[in-house]
Structure 1
Amino acid sequence: MASIRVREATQKLFFDFQFQGKRCREQTALENTLANRKKLETILKRIEAEITLGTFEYHKYFPNSPRAQEFTKQSEVRRSREAYDTPLFREFSQDWMREMKIQWRKSHALTIEGTLRNYLVPEFGDKEVGHITKKDILEFRASLAKVTTRSKKSLSASRINKIMMPLRMILSEAANRFEFTSPYLGIKSLKVPRSDVEPFSLEEVRLILATVRADFRNYYTVRFFTGLRTGEIDGLQWDCVDFQRRQILVRQALVNGEIEQTKTDGSYRHIEMPQLVYDALKDQRKATGNNTFVFCNGAGNPLEHNNVTKRVWYPLLSHLGLRKRRPYQTRHTAATLWLAAGENPEWIARQMGHTTTEMLFRVYSRYVPNLTRRDGSAFERLLINEFEAKVTPAEEAASDEV
């Protein structure tokens, strides 16, 4: 309850009241007399009335108080929101993009710019960031489910989540700057169906390498037996091939036709060359050793992966009667072959560019049940050894009587 109180040390009166959930005590220069108390109580009643009406302005009563600046700023922000005085999404998203771009890879920045241009700005561009509602967000996400691609397919849950991600980040930043609660709060990402890997068997790998065009045999040999990502092998340069140590140094990748640093620290690694890869790269050196890139076209430029996939990879699978699978499955094939061969999982994870073995076992272990002991065979052998090998004479006699 508000009151006029006296400070013991100075015997001066001060105001003691609550405002916006905070206790406020403001000192005066007045002595503790009956007249001064009545004067301050009159002022205090006026303050309480204005607080109740929502018209109280702290700085008018206590201009020199540290609290005045704090409450004035809060009031201005509140009035700004009430007056729709926050920037348009179009303007704020541009500022946000300029600030964030410096910490992103160029390819990621281009992806975010495309998402803003094609989806977010057309939907929210003319709305103020402080007045985009949760309903607006959910309706927009629902509309994305009705969008069809050029191949007449609906956008996947994963694609929708990637479109929504910049919106969440932009609204979160706007909420921090203009002090409102982000409408994205409590909205969860769509559940993405777990995609299964489809590695090739060793027989299928042999068939592919025996049939593929001669000028691409080395390329696919390296892909199948190193686990390199598409961008990593397409961006591989000769100065990153160490024949002496039999290692491939993964330092960069080709993304959208440009060389970029690896995506994560784990991707920055070296891969050991098995004999097949060593021989393939030695042979490739004869063909492209005078160029910068290990695998390149006639002009010495890096391969364009979409072109290779459509003109070489898919026609080859069709010719061999194999199920159509993305070239990325060559990476999954390397992982499963390493596991099946009994290589150390931590070594495999490093070869793949993973920081831990968690993803390795979660994604690939079902292809090597005996290695991971997930088929129950080890337990079965334990039971046989313990219960059949240690039967006592008494147990044998009891069994014969039965």
Structure 2
Amino acid sequence: MAKQARLEPKHIVTKARPYWMLNLPPALSHSGKRERRYFDDKKSAIEFSKQQKIRLKNYGISSTFLPQGRVEEAIAAFEKLKDSGIGLLEAVEQVIKWKKSRECSVTFKAMFESFIEAKKGKRSTAYLTSLRCTLPRFVTLHDRLACEISASEIEDQLQGMSASVHNAFLRYLRAVFNFAIRRGWCVENPVKRIEMHSLKMRKEILTNAQVAALLKVVCETGFELLPYHVLCIFAGIRPKEVERLSWNNINMEEHFIEVPDEKSKTAVRRIVDMEPLLVRWLDYYIKTGGNIQDGVTPTSNLRKRLREIRKAAGFDRWPQDAPRRTFASCWLAVHSDVNRLNNLMGHTSPEMLWRHYHKAVTQKQAKTFWKIEPPSGSSKIVRLTV
């Protein structure tokens, strides 16, 4: 007959400090092996001892009625877990959790389509279009359950993509999996384990001659797009924000532009003070018969018209965000107030602005930039004063 475990705490006295120890038999340990538990005081040791005696009694009663097949199954399970470092109960709990997550999950395709549906009316048309174009790129994952998709599987699908495309897809996937977590379809976002690729982007700005050439073409062939261009160039407002602005947001009397939170990229309202040059350009547009009743930017065929204007102005390739960067560089060179520039542009970090735009142009270049005057009278010639 096996020796009955006593489960009595033992007082140990050492040079370092006294403590209490209790030997836990294999039947009560999660590892299936004898374990020692240590306590700083007698009270804690005795309380733990009482709990284990109750467990041992219950174990003895339940094991009496355990069928032989169950006993053999448990022995086999312990054998498989021998070198894993986890106990049988922990393994069972993990399997149950895995099974429940599968039952609650949906396929990758269903998850993605639900996310797109949830964002309708809340995000821009361009964003929704990008999501729809992303889904077909991961066709091998369409029928996989969201809870079972690993980071390595996503990385396999991203192989061969450029750094910018790779990062764009990761941003969309991260949002989709976060949405799935909130819906209870998975418990972890695998995208968090994937690193973004570093991008070496050229922070290009427009030369004064390029600005003058661009505005000349706009005045000659795309006059209704003049406010769009001068607000981007001489106020540094983001193109998408300009597209959302109405003339009610432009105060020509007090010379400021309101970018409401619902029209701002960051969803934070801001006020952009107009430079005198911008006021003169907008005055020229209004006095020459420009439409100020509707939105600031006519959006019909906008992308196509912008490409045609840029090509006519001599641009083989349009530098992304160049008007905004040009404004920031030339404004900072003249005013030297990075905190105010930060507020005008709706950034969160003056340090970033200073790092990118301080001394990006000389003061002479900046002063010339602020002298790119609108045509006078009925003339269409943009005046560039050097």
- Does residue 315 (structure 1) correspond to residue 312 (structure 2)? The answer is yes
Specify the alignment match of 1:77 in structure 2. Answer: 97
Letter of the 1:317 partner, please give it. G
Verify: 1:232 aligned to 2:241, yes or no: yes
Other structure's SS at 1:140 match:
helix
Give per-residue Cα distances to partners, 1:313-368, cap 9 Å, x unaligned: 221125xxxx6434731111111111221341111111112122122122222414
Partner of 2:219: 213
Per-residue Cα deviation, 1:173-215 (whole angstroms, up to 9, x for no partner): 767947776655632122222x122212334434544554342
Match of 1:189 in 2: 196
Q: Aligned pair in 2 of structure 1 residues 293, 162: CA closer, same or farther (>3 Å)?
A: same
Partner of 1:62: none
Following the alignment from structure 2 to structure 1, what is the Cα–Cα distance between the partners of residues 129 and 31? Answer: 44
Q: 1:338 aligns with which of 327, 331, 356?
A: 331
Distance in 1 (alpha carbons) for counterparts of 2:52 and 2:317 = 83
Change over 3 Å in CA distance of 1:169–1:284 after alignment to 2: closer
Per-residue Cα deviation, 1:12-59 (whole angstroms, up to 9, x for no partner): xxx9824489x99997999x9xxx79954954998987654449xxxx
Partner of 1:164: 170
Map Cα deviations across residues 230-277 of structure 1 (whole Å, 9 max, x no partner).
22223321111112211011227xxxxxxx6322145x3111112221
1:49-60 to structure 2, matched below 5 A, reads 51-54=74-77
- Alignment correspondent of 2:252: 243
For CA contacts below 8 A with separation 6 or more, give which structure has more relative contact order: 2
2:137 aligns to what? 119
Report the TM-score, using the length of structure 1 for normalisation: 0.62
**CA-CA distance at 1:279 after TM superposition:** 2.1
In structure 1, how many angstroms separate the alpha carbons of the residues matched to 2:144 and 2:362?
55
Stretches of structure 2 lacking an aligned partner (at least 5 in a row): 9-24, 38-47, 79-89, 365-386
2:12 maps to what in 1? none
Which residue identity is paired with 1:364?
Answer: Y
Q: How does 1:124-203 map to 2 (within 5 A)?
A: 124-142=141-159, 144-145=160-161, 156-170=162-176, 177=184, 184=191, 186-193=193-200, 195-203=201-209
- Summarize deviations over 1:152-174 as a string: whole Å, max 9, x none: xxxx3111221133434555676
Equivalents in 2 of 1:173, 1:26: separation in Å?
A: 47
**TM-score when scaled to structure 2?**
0.64
| CA distance in structure 1 between the aligned counterparts of 2:320 and 2:152, rounded to whole angstroms | 41
Pairs aligned (count): 317
Which digits, 9 at most, give the CA deviation of each residue in 1:265-305, with x for residues without a partner? Answer: 45x31111122211222232342455222343xxxxx4543
Measured at CA, do residues 360 and 134 of structure 1 come closer, stay the same or move farther in structure 2, by a change above 3 Å?
closer
Counterparts of 1:8-47 in structure 2 under 5 Å? 17-19=28-30, 39-40=60-61, 43=64
Task: Judge conservation of contact 2:206–2:322 (CA < 8 Å) in 1.
Answer: yes
Is residue 89 of structure 1 aligned with residue 108 of structure 2? Answer: yes
Residues 347 and 190 from structure 1, CA distance in 2 versus in 1: closer, same or farther, beyond 3 angstroms?
same
Tell me, in whole angstroms, the C-alpha distance in 1 between the residues paired with 2:141 and 2:285: 52
C-alpha contact 2:244 2:263 (8 A) present in aligned 1: no
Unaligned runs of 5+ in 1: 7-14, 56-69, 146-155, 253-259, 297-301, 372-402
Match for residue 106 of structure 1? 124
Pick from 360, 366, 374 the counterpart of residue 367 of structure 1.
360
Residue type of the alignment partner of 1:17: L
